[in-house]
Chain A
Amino acid sequence: MSINTEMAVRVAAITQVAAAVKTFRLERIDGAPLSVFSGGSHIVVSMNDGEQLRRNPYSLMSSPDDTSAYEISVLRVANSRGGSAFLHDRLEVGDHLTISQPVNLFPVDHRGRKHILFAGGIGITPFLAMMEQFTRDNVAFELHYAMRSRTHGAFWQQLLERYGPRRIKIYFDDEKSLIPVETIVDNQPLGTHLYVCGPSGMIDGVLLTALEAGWPKENLHAERFLAPPAGLPFQVMLEQSAMAITVGEHQSILEAVEAAGCEAPYMCRGGACGQCETAVLSSDGELEHNDVYLSEAEKAEGKKIMICVSRFKGQQLVLQL
């Protein structure tokens, strides 16, 4: 049984905030207040794109105390699975979407005496909400924000204005200014927590630098949403439903299952939370585990699969669904 509560919203505004970034303002259709949330939360947005139902996670960037609307910002990705293409190119003000309740897989550690944020590109979005929260709670923070260029980077001017240059440091790739991660992590007081959100390579780099500087892993936090990677279509047999389905190249197993009219449990839809874990009854090929939830041993054993992001290469996959 899927456990998400969903809300109907209308797109109240669409704003181009940088070269390839748009902000979408979402308000409840019934006019009721939205729930407050904790910084770092995301919502899962369901979009009807022609025949296809897409559901993608987007970080909430609006102030956590603002119950009048939620705001998300989306980067128009060149080889998009369709989510960002749909939102940028087809969605219009007044259109209706369905969204989940906020879910937080990237929360602040409240014990932190100081919080250091590393953002790369569109990875800035969860930090926008977090910084509002830090300010409300009077907690020390600083942001290091790397962008491709001044025109590609979103929000950096507003951030400098709102929080000042002591707390906001900006870097532009095309100006060859890079975040001096090693210097930053070298001299922080005990009780500092570090958060990073951005491209995978950047996350790996920041975490490695911090670990090698002697930071304990408990003080390091990263937001990695894995957009389900595309691949070749494949066949799946759903044993309990006695159904055979085809998973398309831009579809996740979960999406294909839902399109076939079956319900499967899910939550984050990004390979992180464990909710969609499904038993593999037989697999005549190779499981491609794209999640961060199963252990290496579990992945090797091949008896479980996270259907929201993982895929399969081979003849047939039989799942207990």
Chain B
Amino acid sequence: MTITFRQETFRDDFTFRNSPDNIRRFPFPFDHDAYMYAVNMEPHVRGAPNSVFENLIDVDEHYVAEMQDRALVLKEDPLRCQALPHMMAAQWDTLELIMEHQAADYPEHFSLTKDGDLWHWINRPLGIDDSFTFGDASTLPYPPMEYITRQAQGDFCIVDQRDGNLWMDAGMVTTQADWSLDFDIGMNFMEWHGPVPLAHQIGVFDRALKFLLNLQQGKPTRRLNWTMTVNPRLDTSPENYHKWGPDRLTVTPENVGRKMHLRVELQSLWRLPRSNAILFVIRCYLISLDELVTVPKWARRLPRVLSSLPPEIVDYKGLTRNRPIMIDWLNAYDDGAPTSPGIYPD
């Protein structure tokens, strides 16, 4: 499968757009007309062709542009990529996982050959051709996690498992929905989820933690999470909140279709073999409302979901200011007809 990579920006002039094929691939997160937090984990296995679930590590038309944006973010703020000292084995586990999946599923773009510990990695879209010794960080231009996550879409957190708990002890986080790696690194599962409203009270995190502590090699799991972003901006970090926060005031009924984006995270969790840690992949997808309403089922469902959200979730996801404008605009596409269950377009 050969991908045509787009040239586009996620800042300044925001030229990001989805091609028509990519719109239909989009991981629309709502399988019915309402939303509440749940332990909505399912086995991360290959899914429908031409969907984002086709491959377990998804590379799409935005790959090159996203990696360029990541490099800019890191130049401005290297604290977005950190690893505590005891996480080196987990870093190598992560490098191996990503390289093997990308090379196996996108052979036109990535190649990996191994001669014992001597590995040769080629990344054609980014023009990288490196030979290195697996296990020897001095043979790579960056530490292993940073090296490979500069070449993989999405954010990556490596979570250490000990004391019956999970600890976020390493990460590359440049496309997050508003949390700070520098602040959260070192926290355990309950602590880093501290700010999320409601979910604690309904026991979502207790069950999720138990489930993840038992995550097995060879059996990754996945779930979807979502929010809305003004402009297709990947770097909506708290660090830069004072820079992107004002965007929220620029939304009008005339421009909401173009400016407002549904932002979905396809989260996958993998047990890492050498370190027994867990790799938490947060793969971010953006779609403007203009693009989204070209799929009638989604156009009907989204306003219904937005209208019925609990106020705590509205507040936590930063939707307070613009929710009325969004719903008004979307309602034009909702004729009240029933929507089919599930997330896929009809």
A interface, CB within 8 angstroms of B: 3-5, 35-38, 40-41, 64-65, 101-104, 107, 109-111, 133, 136-137, 218, 267, 273-275
User: Contacting B160 at CB < 8 Å: which of A40, A110, A133, A273?
Assistant: A110
Secondary structure at the B interface, as helix, strand, loop or mixed, is loop
Q: Known contacts A111-B86, A137-B89, A218-B163; decide if A101 and B274 are in contact (CB<8 Å).
A: no
User: Contacting B219 at CB < 8 Å: which of A3, A38, A133?
Assistant: A3
CB neighbours of B162 from chain A (8 A): 107, 109-111
Q: Known contacts A36-B273, A36-B274, A38-B274; decide if A3 and B216 are in contact (CB<8 Å).
A: yes
Check B218–A35 contact: CB distance below 8 A: yes
Q: Complex: how many Å from CA A165 to CA B102?
A: 46
| 30 cross-chain CB contacts under 8 A | A3-B219, A4-B216, A5-B218, A5-B219, A35-B217, A35-B218, A35-B273, A36-B273, A37-B273, A38-B274, A38-B275, A40-B276, A41-B276, A65-B274, A101-B216, A101-B218, A103-B216, A103-B217, A107-B161, A107-B162, A110-B86, A110-B87, A110-B160, A110-B275, A111-B86, A137-B88, A137-B89, A267-B214, A267-B216, A273-B214
Q: Complex: how many Å from CA A136 to CA B88?
A: 12
Is residue B321 within 8 Å, beta carbon to beta carbon, of the partner chain? no
Q: Complex: how many Å from CA A274 to CA B219?
A: 17
Q: Complex: how many Å from CA A274 to CA B214?
A: 9
CB neighbours of A64 from chain B (8 A): 274
Is residue B210 within 8 Å, beta carbon to beta carbon, of the partner chain? yes
CB neighbours of B160 from chain A (8 A): 110
In the complex, the chain B residue whose C-beta lies closest to that of A65 is B274
Q: Complex: how many Å from CA A109 to CA B86?
A: 9
Q: Complex: how many Å from CA A175 to CA B175?
A: 63
CB neighbours of B89 from chain A (8 A): 38, 110, 137
What 6 pairs across the A-B complex have the smallest Cβ distances? A110-B86, A38-B276, A101-B217, A107-B276, A36-B273, A5-B218
CB neighbours of A101 from chain B (8 A): 216-219
Interface-centre pick from B86, B87, B276 (highest chain A CB count, 10 A): B276
Check A102–B217 contact: CB distance below 8 A: yes
CB neighbours of A110 from chain B (8 A): 86-87, 89, 160, 162, 275
Given contacts A4-B216, A35-B217, A101-B216, 20 further A-B contacts (CB under 8 A): A3-B219, A5-B216, A5-B219, A37-B274, A38-B89, A41-B276, A64-B274, A101-B219, A102-B273, A103-B217, A110-B86, A110-B89, A110-B160, A110-B162, A133-B274, A137-B88, A218-B163, A267-B216, A273-B214, A274-B210
A-contact 0/1 string along B182-220, CB 8 Å cutoff: 000000000000000000000000000010001011110
Q: Complex: how many Å from CA A159 to CA B273?
A: 25
Q: Complex: how many Å from CA A18 to CA B35?
A: 61
Q: Complex: how many Å from CA A101 to CA B214?
A: 13
User: Contacting B214 at CB < 8 Å: which of A35, A38, A275?
Assistant: A275
In the complex, the chain A residue whose C-beta lies closest to that of B88 is A137
A24 to chain B, nearest CB (A): 21
A270 to chain B, nearest CB (A): 13
Check B273–A38 contact: CB distance below 8 A: yes
Q: Complex: how many Å from CA A4 to CA B214?
A: 11
B200 to chain A, nearest CB (A): 21
CB neighbours of B135 from chain A (8 A): 136
Interface-centre pick from B87, B135, B274, B275 (highest chain A CB count, 10 A): B274
Q: Complex: how many Å from CA A125 to CA B275?
A: 19
Q: Complex: how many Å from CA A37 to CA B160?
A: 15
Q: Complex: how many Å from CA A291 to CA B305?
A: 44
CB neighbours of A102 from chain B (8 A): 217, 273
A-contact 0/1 string along B66-92, CB 8 Å cutoff: 000000000000000000001111000
CB neighbours of A274 from chain B (8 A): 210, 214
Q: Complex: how many Å from CA A137 to CA B275?
A: 11
Q: Complex: how many Å from CA A111 to CA B88?
A: 11
Q: Known contacts A104-B276, A110-B87; decide if A37 and B217 are in contact (CB<8 Å).
A: yes
